[in-house]
């Protein structure tokens, strides 16, 4: 029998529906059993007939009951009642063990956050750029303008290549600022550089292909490609960049950061660039050129790209994570029309296209000139902080213990040490004193180079001086 509780905040129809379902599932109402007509049941319960009809309609929609002109309303005959069984713990499906995934995430977190947990008053993070209130104000304005100007058709499924007005802005920027002249069908938007690298691994390589990674270098690239079952091998880096002569035989792709080497900070010398380009063309191999922070060069123009010299063999990666903010999750891959079409096909299959609002806002941000002005403003700030950190290192005598490598580009430097340098002890002691630094070893695959990678984008000049003073004190005592 169904009952109505007038004090229950749950709607009456919901009360009756829950009771009816319980009666059917626990066997009180047997399969084929006829239900009381809606009019009669409504009178018994003291509710409107429409309430009972709503309950019956919902039961029918869920497959609990059937209605026919001759048979009336009955419990579905195919409904089976399982014999009661003692309660038991329900086990979820087995989640497969993927050792390479766990190992990769561990290495990625070690590189990104450091081995030691805890907050630091001074954080020399090399991973994040400078973001301030001025940027947020301009971005908010661009967002409001972009959202108010959108049309209903903008909310439909988009192009796998990405939002066309944003690709047009990137096309214009690359032409003016980097000397890269391409058509729109040579530009693909991705959700950050990491997503782009994953697309490259899926679209341009096959399982078991050999990939060469700088050592030390960008760890996330090698980890992503290793997860895609590629054979990732390290190639050493010296003061002229990637040692092309050490490239493994049969390598199908080389991942490089030639304008400002990730970790070491050196520029790939022109002879090495030409050697790398000859290697790619003669072996019909790919070069992935990650140009993550080359536009933050403090003296002179940004260096020429490899892509401009070998566009059919190079995939150029332009990420807004370092130029604006990682939270945007926006990057662009630039390559031959054929290669980009293949990458776009994989994107269509796996991700279809990127979210619209970030793309629309960034397009407006670039169109109004805010992007270039932001870059110029941040470049000045980085140059000032770079000069402060270099001056502080020399002033406290730290340069006698550690060697500064790299050029006046980007937002990090490397203080390289002897292989016996105890990075773990130094970083742990510094963290206890409120300073976080990032050891070089997580950037390495096979080499035994040691040192500290210091980012200065988010540390003001006063804190840079204080942090380097504490670093020098710890290193001198260790």
> What is the reported pLDDT for 84?
57
Cα separation, 468 vs 435, in Å, equals 9
pLDDT 10s digits, 306-319: 999 999 999 999 99
Average pLDDT over residues 321-340: 95
Q: How many CA atoms within 13 Å lie on the side-chain side of 471?
A: 32
Q: How many CA atoms within 13 Å lie on the side-chain side of 429?
A: 14
> What is the reported pLDDT for 344?
97
> What is the reported pLDDT for 112?
79
> What is the reported pLDDT for 295?
82
- 233 strand-pairing partners: 212
pLDDT tier at 83, thresholds 50, 70, 90: low
User: Looking at the predicted structure, is the pLDDT value of residue 172 above 80?
Assistant: yes
User: Looking at the predicted structure, is the pLDDT value of residue 118 above 90?
Assistant: no
Average pLDDT over residues 133-144: 95
Are 125 and 436 within 8 A, CB to CB?
A: yes
pLDDT tier at 87, thresholds 50, 70, 90: low
Nearest Cα neighbor of 422 from 475, 472, 473 is 475
Q: How many CA atoms within 13 Å lie on the side-chain side of 305?
A: 28
> What is the reported pLDDT for 82?
57
Nearest Cα neighbor of 282 from 301, 254, 303 is 254
pLDDT 10s digits, 250-266: 999 999 999 989 999 89
- Please give the structure tokens belonging to residue 343: 């990458």
Range of weakest confidence among 87-96, 202-211, 280-289, 320-329: 87-96
- Please give the structure tokens belonging to residue 240: 């002229």
> What is the reported pLDDT for 13?
92
* Phi and psi, residue 14, nearest 5°: -70, -40
pLDDT tier at 246, thresholds 50, 70, 90: very high
CA triplet 413, 416, 418: central angle to 5 degrees? 175
User: Looking at the predicted structure, is the pLDDT value of residue 453 above 80?
Assistant: yes
> What is the reported pLDDT for 12?
92
Percent of the chain exceeding pLDDT 90 equals: 69
Assigned architecture for domain 154-368: 3-Layer(aba) Sandwich (3.40)
Average pLDDT over residues 71-94: 74
Strand residue runs (E) in 199-323: 210-215, 231-238, 241-242, 251-256, 286-290, 314-319
User: Looking at the predicted structure, is the pLDDT value of residue 81 above 70?
Assistant: no
CATH of domain 115-130+373-477: 3.90.1150.10
Percent of the chain exceeding pLDDT 70 equals: 97
User: Looking at the predicted structure, is the pLDDT value of residue 34 above 70?
Assistant: yes
Cα separation, 209 vs 225, in Å, equals 10
Confirm whether pTM is higher than 0.75.
yes
* Number of other CB atoms surrounding residue 439 within 10 Å: 23
Q: How far is CA 286 from the centre of its chain?
A: 23
> What is the reported pLDDT for 203?
97
Range of weakest confidence among 103-112, 171-180, 245-254: 103-112
pLDDT tier at 365, thresholds 50, 70, 90: very high
User: Looking at the predicted structure, is the pLDDT value of residue 407 above 80?
Assistant: no
> What is the reported pLDDT for 206?
96
Range of weakest confidence among 57-71, 113-127, 187-201: 113-127
pLDDT 10s digits, 222-242: 999 999 999 999 999 999 999
> What is the reported pLDDT for 67?
86
Cα separation, 101 vs 227, in Å, equals 7
Cα separation, 31 vs 28, in Å, equals 10
Distances (CA, A) of 295 to 7, 304, 367, 454: 68, 11, 18, 19
Cα separation, 399 vs 472, in Å, equals 9
Cα separation, 11 vs 470, in Å, equals 66
CATH of domain 12-75: 1.10.10.10
Q: Are strands 435-436 and 122-123 parallel, antiparallel or unpaired?
A: parallel
pLDDT 10s digits, 207-217: 999 999 999 99
> What is the reported pLDDT for 292?
86
Which residues lie closer than 8 Å to 276 by C-beta, 6 or more apart?
242, 244, 254, 256, 258, 268, 287, 306
Q: Where are the domains of the chain?
A: 12-75, 115-130+373-477, 154-368
pLDDT tier at 117, thresholds 50, 70, 90: low
Sequence-ordered alpha helix ranges (H) in 296-369: 320-323, 337-350, 356-367
* Number of other CB atoms surrounding residue 37 within 10 Å: 14
Q: Which of 68-77, 269-278, 410-419 has the highest mean pLDDT?
A: 269-278
């Amino acid at each position: 029998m169904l009952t109505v509780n007038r004090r229950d905040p749950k709607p009456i129809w919901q009360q009756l529906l829950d009771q009816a379902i319980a009666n059917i599932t626990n066997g009180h109402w047997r399969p084929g059993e006829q239900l009381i007509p809606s009019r009669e049941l409504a009178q018994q319960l003291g509710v409107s007939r429409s309430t009972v009809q709503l309950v019956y309609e919902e039961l029918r929609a869920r497959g609990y009951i059937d209605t026919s002109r001759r048979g009336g309303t009955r419990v579905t005959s195919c409904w089976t009642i399982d014999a009661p069984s003692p309660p038991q713990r329900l086990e979820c499906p087995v989640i497969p063990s993927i050792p390479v995934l766990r190992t990769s995430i561990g290495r990625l977190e070690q590189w990104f956050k450091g081995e030691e947990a805890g907050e630091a008053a001074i954080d020399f993070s090399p991973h994040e750029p400078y973001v301030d209130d001025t940027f947020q104000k301009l971005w908010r304005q661009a967002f409001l303008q972009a959202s108010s100007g959108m049309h209903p058709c903008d909310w439909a499924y988009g192009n796998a290549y990405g939002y066309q007005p944003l690709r047009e802005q990137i096309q214009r920027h690359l032409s003016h600022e980097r000397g890269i002249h391409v058509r729109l069908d040579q530009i693909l938007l991705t959700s950050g550089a990491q997503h782009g690298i994953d697309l490259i691994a899926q679209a341009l390589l096959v399982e078991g292909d050999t990939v060469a990674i700088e050592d030390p270098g960008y760890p996330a690239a090698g980890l992503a490609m290793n997860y895609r079952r590629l054979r990732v091998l390290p190639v050493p880096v010296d003061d002229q960049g990637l040692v092309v002569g050490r490239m493994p035989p049969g390598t199908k792709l080389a991942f490089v950061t030639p304008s400002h080497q990730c970790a070491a900070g050196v520029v790939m010398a022109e002879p090495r660039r030409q050697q790398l380009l000859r290697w790619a063309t003669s072996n019909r191999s790919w070069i992935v050129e990650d140009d993550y922070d080359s536009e933050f060069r403090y003296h002179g123009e940004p260096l020429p790209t490899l892509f401009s010299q070998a566009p059919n063999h190079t995939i150029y990666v332009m990420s807004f994570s370092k130029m604006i903010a990682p939270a945007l999750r926006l990057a662009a891959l630039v390559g031959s029309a054929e290669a980009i079409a293949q990458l776009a096909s994989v994107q269509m299959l796996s991700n279809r296209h990127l979210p619209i609002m970030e793309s629309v806002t960034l397009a407006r941000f670039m169109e109004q000139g805010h992007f270039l002005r932001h870059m110029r403003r941040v470049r000045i700030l980085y140059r000032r902080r770079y000069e402060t950190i270099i001056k502080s290192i020399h002033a406290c005598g730290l340069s006698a213990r550690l060697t500064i490598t790299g050029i006046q580009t980007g937002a990090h430097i490397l203080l390289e040490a002897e292989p016996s340098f105890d990075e773990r002890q130094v970083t742990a002691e510094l963290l206890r004193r409120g300073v976080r630094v990032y050891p070089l070893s997580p950037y390495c695959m096979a080499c035994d180079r040691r040192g500290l990678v210091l980012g200065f984008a988010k540390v003001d000049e006063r804190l840079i001086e204080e942090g380097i003073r504490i670093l020098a004190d710890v290193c001198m005592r260790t």
